[in-house]
Structure 1
Amino acid sequence: MCAPVKRPRCFRYRKQKIECRSSDSGFEEDLFTPSSSPSLDLTHNSQSADVHTPHRDISELSIFRDYGESSFNIQKSKEEKFLPINCLSRQPQVTAEARCRLVSWLIPVHRHFKLSFETCCLTINIMDRFLATTPVAADCFQLLGVTSLLIASKQVEVYSPSIKQLLSLCCDTFTRDQLCNLECIVLMRLNFRLAAPTPAFFLDHFMNQRLACGSRGDAGRCWSLARRICELSLADYAFNRYPPSVMALCAVELAELLLGEAPGADLQRGEEGAHTLAQDCVHNLRLLVTLNQEVLHTMAEL
């Protein structure tokens, strides 16, 4: 799949003044790692690492009123450029089922490392956009997943997981050189365009909008449930055709309905231009939720 590419000493996707030696992750591996233990148990960490919406004080809501709409409009204007529709059309070996399995595996992986939901969404976006440009062998697909996670975490997080930790998740099937070479190839195929709008950004925007409008509902439960709905949609290839703003909006409205709250009218007015698409998305999300009642019921009780 991949021809060897000479890799620069260090990739830094965010401006940081950190002294580091040339290591496999671009940073000093032993100094800054999210986890001190090399042994990884994903089954016991998925619930404890689930992030809840942070407390919003008056000053934060004031900042949102000043800059929220401007940030929303900027991100929304970029959606079409980063939307990986039909990304599997050029893939002779990677199927929608294989993609579903990999994404369903990456979600608890990002929780284990306590990475943000933004990192999770960006990981899937990077992976899908690469799939739209380059055929990937089935036995290299998992490597693409962890490589996308590494790139996304470097873009979003302060500290990214080390190569050693990521490779241990793959039972050391791949080597460091293979991951580093693929990292270079992915970045070049995407022309280093990593600042993609994600459902995580729009989900935060709509929840802030909900709070700014004085909603009396349980914002924490609504945000958590909407996030879980978005996670389920990330693994389903059929939802790739919906822009992330529509996906986040529909997830919030569906979460409100599941929790017995009235849908936010202000959120609906903000999406009048995509009303038909949003209706279709809500309908398909309802079907997805029906197939995952157990998972979402547990989430709603938290």
Structure 2
Amino acid sequence: MVTPCPSSPASPTARAGRRDNDQHLRAPVKKSRRPRLRRKQPLQSLRPCQVPGDSGICDLFESPSSGSDGADSPAASVARGCSPQPGPVQPLAPLDLQTFRDYGQSCYAFRRAQESRFHPLESLARQPQVTPESRCKLLSWLIPVHRQFSLSFESLCLTVNILDRFLATTPVAADCFQLLGVTSLLIACKQVEVHPPRVKQLLALCCGAFSQQQLCNLECIVLHKLHFSLGAPTISFFLEHFTHARVEAGQAEVSQALEAQALARGVAELSLANYAFTSYAPSLMAICCLALADSMLQLRHPLDLRLGGHPEAVLQDCLGKLQLLVAINRTSLTHMLPLEICEKCSLAPCSK
């Protein structure tokens, strides 16, 4: 059997097959590309936004070495010793009588009608581990914290309201009670303040005992338990309303009314940490605090206790407890007030 010889390289069949293979082996044509724009400088680490205070979003996008907390920030000084330092006395805002004439009575009627809905009674009745003493200790720590961050008195009152309302619904372990305090403060500041404290700053107050995830989880739990109802009437609101009302009615001068409001705010601040005063409504507390302030300042026309429509027996009971509270905490009260008010009232001279 004769085997056919392979085609020679010079044969026509071989040349045709080579042309077909050359078409498949041909190098691709290089396409023209646009010039790539390269950065002349390397990427910088992401910095937090210039507006301090958010829900923690800036903390998530912040590198550990960015140094967000400056040396002059509240958390920088607080975190060194994990205990708040006494902050400056907050000045009172001037009275806006025109706004009060337009909306004062309607706002008061609305808040007064909502007061019982947001007022927790016996908030520690369902708490096996949280006692009135531990509540007093936590709030005595939160009050200097709110001063250190220069927060408003409304934020502090709302913080206490959120704390007590949550305690009335959910048992809290003793080792999570401090986390509940800073979480309540964060929620209240988001409602009131333009620049609330950042999550990182609040965690620094706890000396690293809690993580950011724990705080955010507890925040969601608190909001769910309170059904996102956070617009509670507070002592701060009623103090401002009664101050405007007495000035508008000509019962006191503006300077006298502002001094009485500052002193009443200090007395109310003392009462927030005392569990015995949680049974009194905020409007009742505001009237009694102003009445006690008028008595201490010896004003000619003191506030009428019947202004809020509360029973006389309840008013006298609350006023008597406030007088005892001030007598016990005279030294602490002097550090909450401006020097000129300390000199005018019957408190001991303050060392400023």
Which whole-Å CA distance do the structure 2 matches of 1:33 and 1:123 have between them?
Answer: 24
Contact 1:33 1:159 in 2 (8 A): no
How much has 1:263 moved relative to structure 2? 5.0
- The answer to whether 1:53 aligns with 2:92 is yes
Partner of 1:220: 258
Match of 2:126 in 1: 90
Give the number of equivalent residue pairs.
276
Q: Aligned pair in 2 of structure 1 residues 187, 116: CA closer, same or farther (>3 Å)?
A: same
Residue 260 of structure 1: how far off its partner (Å): 1.3
- 1:290, distance to aligned residue in structure 2 (A): 1.1
Aligned partner (choices 189, 192, 196) of residue 153 of structure 1: 189
- Give the distance between the partners of 1:142 and 1:112, measured in 2 at CA: 17
Following superposition, the deviation at residue 26 of structure 1 comes to: 4.3
- Aligned position for 1:279: 316
* Aligned residue number for residue 247 of structure 2: 211
Residue 339 of structure 2 is aligned to residue 301 of structure 1: no
1:38 CA displacement: 4.0
For residue 328 of structure 2, the aligned residue among 284, 291, 294 is 291
Cα separation, partners in 2 of 1:220 and 1:144, compared to 1, 3 Å: same
- CA-to-aligned-CA distance 1:146-205 (integer Å, 9 cap, x gap): 000000001111121111100000001001111010000000000001000100100111
Q: Find the partner of 1:261 among 299, 313, 326.
A: 299
Question: Is contact 1:53–1:220 with CA below 8 Å preserved after alignment?
Answer: yes
Q: Which residue of 1 aligns with 2:76?
A: 39
Runs of 4+ in 1 over 6 A off after TM superposition: 30-35
In the TM superposition, residue 233 of structure 1 has moved relative to its aligned partner by: 0.7
Structure 2: how far apart are the matches of 1:252 and 1:245? Answer: 11
CA contact (8 A) 1:246 1:274 kept: no
Q: Which residue in the other structure is 2:198 paired with?
A: 162
Once the 2 structures are TM-superposed, how far is the Cα of residue 44 of structure 1 from its aligned partner?
Answer: 4.7
Q: Deviations over 1:232-272 (max 9, x none)?
A: 1100001000000000111011011011114535x434223
2:259, 2:241 → 1: CA distance?
Answer: 16
Q: Distance in 1 between matches of 2:186 and 2:290?
A: 28
Q: Distance in 1 between matches of 2:175 and 2:314?
A: 36
Q: How many percent of aligned residue pairs carry the same amino acid? A: 49
Q: When the two structures are superposed, what TM-score results if normalisation uses the length of structure 2? A: 0.73
For residues 173 and 24 of structure 1, do their structure 2 counterparts lie closer, same or farther at Cα, with a shift above 3 Å needed?
farther
Looking at structure 1, the residues matched to 201 and 229 of structure 2 have their Cα atoms a distance apart, in angstroms, of 26
2:235 aligned residue: 199
Which range is displaced more, 140-149 or 205-214? 205-214
256, 262, 274: which one aligns with 1:236: 274
TM-score of the pair, normalised by structure 1: 0.84
Q: Distance in 2 between matches of 1:72 and 1:25?
A: 30
Q: Give the counterpart of 1:270 among 307, 310, 334.
A: 307
Alpha-carbon distance in 2 for matches of 1:235, 1:93:
17
* 1:228–1:288 CA distance, 2 compared to 1 (3 A): same
Name whichever of 108-117 and 86-95 sits farther off: 108-117
Larger Rg: 2
**How far apart are the structure 1 equivalents of 2:152 and 2:75?**
20
Q: Please, which runs of 5 or more residues in structure 2 have no aligned partner? A: 1-48, 344-352
Alignment of structure 1 residues 139-150 onto 2, 5 Å: 139-150=175-186
For the 8 Å contact 1:250–1:281, the answer to whether it is kept is yes
Structure 1: runs of 5+ lacking an equivalent: 1-18
- The amino acid that maps onto 1:133 is T
Considering only aligned residues, what root-mean-square deviation do their CA atoms show, in Å?
A: 2.5
Q: Give the structure, 1 or 2, with the largest relative contact order (CA under 8 Å, sep 6 or more).
A: 1
Secondary structure class of the residue paired with 1:104:
helix
